[in-house]
Amino acid sequence: MALLEVRDLEVDFPLGRTTLQAIHGVSFDLDRGERLGIVGESGAGKSVAAFSILNLIAKPGRISGGNVVFDGNDLAHISTAEMQHIRGNRISMIFQDPMMTLNPVLTIGTQMVECLHAHMKISDADAKRIAIEKLREVKIPSPEERFDNYPHQLSGGMRQRVVIATALVTNPAIIIADEPTTALDVTIQAEILALMLDLCQNHGVALMLITHDLAVVSQVTQRIVVMYAGRVVEQGPTQDIIADARHPYTRGLIKALPQQNKPGARLNQIRGSMPTLDDIPKGCSFNPRCDFADVLCSEQEPVLRDLGTHKVACHHAESIVEQLGDGGGDE
């Protein structure tokens, strides 16, 4: 059994007379020590899906169906007290902007110790020792001195390291990282990604990396889940999907990257933009933007099907590959 099993997750936001469904039957597994990427553009529902695992969706959002099974408990149906025991303890989160995550008026040491006290009975001295050890693990130079620093005294990359160290103090089984490097410069991003990869490989922490950046997921994760308009459109081993994506949306995303095009040539764009939740097209939600769409696509919603190495939700997954010959990102 996988460490975390998300099954047919449904999340909706009741708004007056209408109800907007943000997540539509999303299922995936996360194994011990595995690195999973959740990829999609803004509005795809990737953050809502991850937040709902820890029941962090803002009201009036609610899980309206499905299960989130972690260690034998269904997180979708447990009490707040039970959830508080898991959240930040067994499953930690890292957010995009470290300056928003850290409290500006408390030293980083205070914040790390506070997190330890919230989850275990421990003396101040022991808590401090653990915090400094974690700061050293994330390669912060002279952690004893940094322990007494305020967030503003650290650079952006350092702050994100502190956030990661704080997420690690309770030795969680899973870290959910929501765009952890989007606010950082490329050289700092490379350092933080290397650090996260190292932590997963050497400490057996499972990572769920939520990002819009396909290049980042391709370097860090083993498997990816591609989301579009609240649904999973494709999932499978990372390198298989990057090299041989079957869903027209995934293919479009990969081919739109400047890296995948000849310098100076017109980029392969996907026309239109992601639909809003109150205006999801009938049938396949991608059909108005898809080059392969036909009558079937505008009437019937495709289900996620197993196609050997990966799963795809497209009526024409097989024929698309034939039509394009040997498809891949490197055309």
Partner 1 sequence: MNNKTGTPLLEVDQVYKSFQVGSEGWLGNKALLVHAINGVSITIYKGESFCLVGESGCGKSTLARTVMGLEQPTSGTISYEDQRIDHLEGEKRLPFRRKMQMIFQNPYASLNPRMTVNQTLEEPLRFHRPELNAKDLRDKVVEVMESVGNNPDWGERFPHEFSGGQRQRISIARALMVDPEFVVADEPISALDVSIQAQVLNVMMEAQEKHDLTYLFITHDLSVVEHFGSRVGVMYLGALCELADTRTLFSNPRHPYTQGLLAAIPRMDGSELSHTKMTGEVPTAMDLPPGCVFHTRCPLAKDKCKMEIPELRDVDGRQVACHFVEETA
324 is an interface residue for partner 1 by CB under 8 A = no
Among 18, 171, 273, 323, indicate the residue that binds partner 1 (CB under 8 A): 273
Among 261, 288, 298, 321, indicate the residue that binds partner 1 (CB under 8 A): 261
100 is an interface residue for partner 1 by CB under 8 A = no
In the numeric block, which tokens belong to residue 196? 């996260």
How far, in Å, CA of 94 to CA of 101, rounded?
A: 8
279 is an interface residue for partner 1 by CB under 8 A = no
19 is an interface residue for partner 1 by CB under 8 A = no
Among 55, 189, 235, 285, indicate the residue that binds partner 1 (CB under 8 A): 189
- SS3 labels along 50-108: HHHHCCCCCCCCEEEEEEEEECCEEHHHCCHHHHHHHECCCEEEECCCHHHHCCCCCCH
Judged by CB under 8 A, the stretch of 78-86, 170-178, 212-220, 311-319 that binds partner 1 is 212-220
219 is an interface residue for partner 1 by CB under 8 A = yes
Pairing mode, if any, of strands 223-228 and 206-211? Answer: unpaired
Using omega within 30 degrees of 0 as the cis cutoff, is the peptide bond preceding 60 cis? Answer: yes
273 DSSP 8-state letter: -
Footprint (CB under 8 A) of partner 1, residues 231-250: 239, 242-243
Judged by CB under 8 A, the stretch of 47-55, 77-85, 270-278, 306-314 that binds partner 1 is 270-278
The least distance separating partner 1 from the CB of residue 8, rounded to whole angstroms, comes to 27
78 is an interface residue for partner 1 by CB under 8 A = no
Neighbours of 232 (CB within 10 A): 27
78 half-sphere exposure, CB direction, 13 A CA radius: 21
Assign 287 to helix, strand or coil: helix
Assign 196 to helix, strand or coil: helix
Judged by CB under 8 A, the stretch of 67-75, 105-113, 162-170, 183-191 that binds partner 1 is 183-191
Q: With both helix axes pointing from N to C terminus, report the angle between 108-119 and 156-168 in degrees, rounded to the nearest 10.
A: 20
280 is an interface residue for partner 1 by CB under 8 A = no
Judged by CB under 8 A, the stretch of 70-78, 126-134, 151-159, 293-301 that binds partner 1 is 151-159
Tokens 């803004």, located at residue? 42
Among 59, 186, 279, 306, indicate the residue that binds partner 1 (CB under 8 A): 186
Q: Which residues bind partner 1 (CB under 8 A)?
A: 41-42, 155-158, 185-191, 193-194, 197, 212-216, 218-220, 239, 242-243, 252-254, 256-261, 263-264, 266-271, 273-274, 329-330
